[in-house]
Amino acid sequence: MTKQLLSGNEAIARGAWEAGVKFASGYPGTPSTEILENLAKYPEVDAQWSANEKVAFEEGMGAAIGGLRVLVTMKMVGLNVAADPFMVFPYAGTNGGFVLISADDPGMHSSQNEQDNRYLALMAKVPVLEPSDAQECKDYIEFGLELSEAHETPVMMRTTTRLAHHKGLVALGDRVEVSRKEFTPDVKRFSVPIYRKLRRPEVEKRLERLREFAESTPINRVEWRASQPGAAAAKGSVGVVTSGIAYQYVREVMPAASVFRLGLTHPLPSRSLIEFCAAHETVYVVEEGEAFIESHLAALGATNMIGKSAFGVIGEYSPDRIAAAIAATPTAPMQDFSKEIAMLPRPPMFCVGCGHRTVFDVLRQLKVTVAGDIGCYTMGALPPYEAEHTTFCMGASIGTAFGLERAGHERTVAIIGDSTFVHAGIPALIDAVFNGSGLTLVILDNSTTGMTGQQPHPGAGTTLKGKPAPKLDLEAMVRAAGVKQVQIVDTWQRKEVGRAIRAALLQGEPSVVIARGPCMRLPEMKLSERAASPYVVDESLCTKCDACFKVWCPAITRTAEGFPIIDTLDCTACTVCAQVCPTEAIGPVDSRQ
Amino acid sequence: MDTTNLIFAGVGGQGVLLIAELTAQTAVRAGHDVKQTEVHGVSQRGGSVESHVRFGDANAVHSPLVRAGQADVVVGLEKLEGLRYADFLNPVTGSLLVNDHEIIPGSVANAAEKYPHHAMDFLRHKGLRVVELPASRCAKDLGDGRMANVIMVGALSALLALPEEDWLETLKERIPAKHREANLRAFQAGRRLSTDFGSPFGLSGMQPVAGGHRDSGPLSPAKGDNHD
Ligand SMILES: Cc1ncc(C[n+]2csc(CCOP(=O)(O)OP(=O)(O)O)c2C)c(N)n1
């Protein structure tokens, strides 16, 4: 059997392909994005980016009811958006296997909050799988699809950032073709609230069956080491209950401890867990996120657990953190140099040539309040711009600006990316117009979902599989919402951008500026593709006035003599530095030679 | 064998993840169990980037994260980033292999004045083994400053007990044809640099490459190629 080094996300994609998945949908979001990007490479799988997670979920739900094996992927906050169908799908139950990947992000590496989605699954009464390495990421997909079909239930697999983005060896298999299951339209099962009451008891009966399943499934297993099954707890005996990647940390730090490794964390195997607790004097519960397993054990009456009080609820776990919590001596003394030397931070920043820069430069100068949104442009909140004053969740800019305006803060600008606008901004704009706002909205239209790595969306003109698709007309969309003042500007023309935003602010009615210019990371923006040349500084014309440094372009640094110098390998020929140069010392390399 | 613990650190865009992957793949090819970890996302926008690689006997590598004080080598593609992860080094046997190159954080106020230019002396003073290599300059001499990462992984390769053929096979497989030759040259230049600057230098329990070529001489410039 061949083994390959795969990331958790690559393994999930592989698992879906091997298990005969035919339809897959999702919306990008770290740490889930690479699953669909990898799955799209298989011709047998119809994989797509949807407009948002709710739509992705509903499309997957339809495909599964229609009889296909389905995978739906999203980051954890995506499930908030898709919570509506998620809560009700289990009532009807599925036909073809349906696995939802919910990618949690303990530590908020790339997220606006920390959220343990096992609680959403608890609420939806949906079983939860938690793999703990790349191999299990692959294997649990098939397992989950079979579980889903056997119990006619959607299944959620919870991954975390570390699991999704770590790599390990995975044994590969072949694809099994699974034929479409028969779908019989059934009003009583799939439709209308009065019939839903009839389905309600089914959900509980299913959970009961799943509880029994949890006691016997091999993915919940005890690795007995120092302690013995059935024996009374010996003095000083320590057992561990754990799930997910934390299992690996436990194995690393406590190699001699008996470990109850849970692969199915909802519903939990109560009887087995109680037996395990009884066999140890102390039981550590090591789970990333909330005290999901621990509080279940507490409800069962167990009193000998140590969990969140020692390991904490905030942030990501690591072997060091677990070792420190159980006071196992680290093998080498920890040294911490940060107290003795300036460990300068290195925050992320706009890429070379990013079209968002000009907009934030204007907003900074205008000293307006900016209700921001989620995307690369969230970095407008960081120095040197500090021109984004609120950021909550996708699409929130418009509603927040509306509310700020109602509270008397008239000079407020909402700012939103094109992908985010399509995802959740459109209803908010319709509402703002409807309720009589005088809002100014800037849509940063870079033809892609930049933050998560350039995924196409309905305004981009291609699908995940690279097929041409109708391109959503943002201007027509905005006008259809009732906005009359719409300006479209080239985002790299800094004066035009400034004029447009200033003009918009003077309107007493809803006004939209679409700042347009593709993300510089898109392949078509390569210099060679655009037949453009990098820019250079002519030192004979440069007066070292430093205006170009105020563009904050990472490609511009200083020579030993204090002149600006542009890294010609990095330069994207966005021209903004040349526009600010008062002496025309900056221009394309060809014209200067 | 004991598990080998490596950390790769640098600035987004320097190719940290590529060389971590090259190392992990080479360890797989050499028959080891391997775990690697990195975090994708905003950090790639010019921020700090790190990746951990651990390899050892079959089924012996559990956590993908290296523990503090246990790294055998920290490979820094930039000095501040090397410094940032230096406390992961095993204080007795660990080595910081660092590209003698400074990138001032662009969006930090007065970063140029605050930058810890003396970082490597500071770490040496703390008793750590620090090897500074002119990888960026050497990469420029070879025709493309962006190959500093491959030079650094070449230097690392001279310290690890992974067969040279496995490294070369991995490079050939992973680097697109049009950049392959240049990168293979960069890799070999790194191997030579390591032995020139680093000796006596080898990890406990591992064999440094025997002898070491002292003939590095002026590096022959290669055609300018850049890889994304
Ligand atoms: C509900 C939800 N889904 C997904 C994400 C992940 N995410 C963060 S920003 C972003 C979209 C960014 O695209 P766009 O608005 O076009 O801005 P850009 O990054 O291109 O500037 C996504 C999908 C999220 N934060 N919340």
Q: Which fold has domain A356-524?
A: Rossmann fold (3.40.50)
Q: CB of A64 within 8 A of CB of A162?
A: no
pLDDT digits 0-9 by tens, A365-416? 999 999 999 999 999 998 889 999 999 999 999 999 999 999 999 889 999 9
SS3 content of chain A, % helix, strand, coil (to 5): 40, 20, 45
Q: What is d(CA B94, CA A567) in angstroms, rounded to the nearest whole number?
A: 35
Q: Compute the radius of gyration of chain A from its Cα atoms.
A: 27
Distance of CA A338 to the CA centre of its chain: 31
Query: Mind telling me how many Å the CA of A342 is from chain B's nearest CA?
Result: 6
Burial B5-40 (b: 16+ CB within 10 A, else e): bbbbbbbbbbbbbbbbbbbbbbbbbbebbbbbbbbb
Contact A332 B90 (CB under 8 A): yes
Which among A208, A193, A210, A214 is positioned nearest to A92, based on CA atoms?
A193
Residue ranges of chain A that CATH labels 3.40.50.970: 3-216, 356-524
Q: What is d(CA A360, CA A387) in angstroms, rounded to the nearest whole number?
A: 6
Choice between A434 and B113, residue whose per-residue pLDDT is larger: A434
pLDDT digits 0-9 by tens, A469-501? 999 999 999 999 999 999 999 999 999 999 999
- The secondary structure of A350-404 as a DSSP string is PPTT-THHHHHHHHHHHT-EEE--SSGGGGGGSTTT----B--STTHHHHHHHHH
Q: Residues, chain B, total?
A: 228
Q: What is d(CA A128, CA A542) in angstroms, rounded to the nearest whole number?
A: 63
Q: Does the CB of B30 have a partner CB in chain A at under 8 Å?
A: no
Helices (H) and strands (E) counted in chain B, each on its own, are: 8, 6
- Shortest-distance Cα residue to atom 6 of ligand 1: A29
Distance of CA A544 to the CA centre of its chain: 43
Report the DSSP beta bridge partners of residue A254.
Answer: none
Q: CB of A472 within 8 A of CB of A419?
A: no
**How do strand A412-417 and strand A440-445 relate by DSSP bridges?**
parallel
pLDDT at A330 over 60: no
CA dihedral A264, A270, A274, A275 (to 10 degrees): -70
Please state whether the peptide bond connecting residue A384 to the residue before it is cis, i.e. omega within 30 degrees of 0: yes
Which among A456, A458, A449, A453 is positioned nearest to A426, based on CA atoms?
A458
Helices (H) and strands (E) counted in chain A, each on its own, are: 23, 23
Per-residue pLDDT at B47: 87
Per-residue pLDDT at A196: 86
Residues of chain A contacting B110 with CB distance shorter than 8 Å: none
Task: Say yes or no: CB of residue A248 within 6 Å of ligand 1.
Answer: no
Token couple for B94: 């660990």
Q: CB of A564 within 8 A of CB of A549?
A: yes
Residues of chain B contacting A335 with CB distance shorter than 8 Å: 68-69, 87, 91, 126
In degrees, to the nearest 5, what angle opens at C-alpha B130 toward C-alphas B181 and B84? 90
- Which of A162, A320, A337 is closest, CB to CB, to B64? A162
pLDDT at A576 over 90: yes
Q: Considering only the top CATH level, what class is A221-327?
A: alpha beta
pLDDT digits 0-9 by tens, A208-221? 999 999 999 999 99
What mean pLDDT is predicted for residues A554-569?
92
Contact A249 B40 (CB under 8 A): no
Share of chain A above pLDDT 90, in %: 90
**How do strand B129-133 and strand B48-56 relate by DSSP bridges?**
unpaired
In degrees, to the nearest 5, what angle opens at C-alpha B120 toward C-alphas B117 and B125? 120
What ipTM goes with this model?
0.94
Q: What is the mean pLDDT of chain B?
A: 85
- Which of B21, B105, B126 is closest, CB to CB, to A344? B105
pLDDT digits 0-9 by tens, A332-362? 556 788 889 988 998 888 999 999 999 999 9
pLDDT at A363 over 90: yes
pLDDT digits 0-9 by tens, A258-299? 999 999 999 999 999 999 999 999 999 999 999 999 999 999
pLDDT at B39 over 70: yes
Give the distance (Å) from ligand 1 centre to CA of residue A394: 7
pLDDT at B206 over 60: no
Per-residue pLDDT at B109: 76
Report the DSSP beta bridge partners of residue A100.
Answer: A72, A156
Chain A segment 495-554 residues within 8 A of B by beta carbon are 552, 554
Contacts (Cβ under 8 Å, ≥6 apart) of B8: B16, B17, B19, B20, B23, B50, B51, B52, B53, B74, B75, B77
Q: Does the CB of A333 have a partner CB in chain B at under 8 Å?
A: yes
Could you say which architecture CATH assigns to the domain A3-216? 3-Layer(aba) Sandwich (3.40)
Per-residue pLDDT at A24: 98
pLDDT at B202 over 70: no
Q: What is d(CA A238, CA A96) in angstroms, rounded to the nearest whole number?
A: 43
pLDDT at B212 over 70: no
Q: Does the CB of B86 have a partner CB in chain A at under 8 Å?
A: yes
Per-residue pLDDT at A332: 55
Per-residue pLDDT at B217: 31
What mean pLDDT is predicted for residues B95-99?
97
pLDDT band at B42 (very low <50, low <70, confident <90, very high): low
**How do strand B4-11 and strand B73-76 relate by DSSP bridges?**
parallel
Contact A349 B111 (CB under 8 A): no
- The secondary structure of A135-152 as a DSSP string is HHHHHHHHHHHHHHHHHT
Q: Which fold has domain A532-592?
A: Alpha-Beta Plaits (3.30.70)
pLDDT at A418 over 80: yes
pLDDT at A13 over 60: yes
For B113: left if phi > 0, alpha if psi spans -120 to 50, otherwise beta; the answer is: alpha
Alpha carbons within 13 A on the beta-carbon side of B29 = 20
Domains annotated for chain B, with CATH where assigned, are: 2-105+112-198 (3.40.920.10)
Per-residue pLDDT at A106: 95
Share of chain B above pLDDT 90, in %: 71
Per-residue pLDDT at A333: 59
> Cα-flanking dihedrals φ and ψ of residue A155, to 5°?
-120, 140
pLDDT at A15 over 80: yes
What mean pLDDT is predicted for residues A11-35?
98
Which among A331, A253, A330, A256 is positioned nearest to A286, based on CA atoms?
A253
Residue ranges of chain A that CATH labels 3.40.50.920: 221-327
Per-residue pLDDT at A334: 67
pLDDT digits 0-9 by tens, A137-168? 999 999 999 999 999 999 999 999 999 999 99
For residue A424, the 8-state DSSP code is: I
Q: What is the mean pLDDT of chain A?
A: 95
pLDDT digits 0-9 by tens, B50-89? 999 999 998 889 999 999 999 999 999 999 999 999 999 9
Per-residue pLDDT at B210: 35
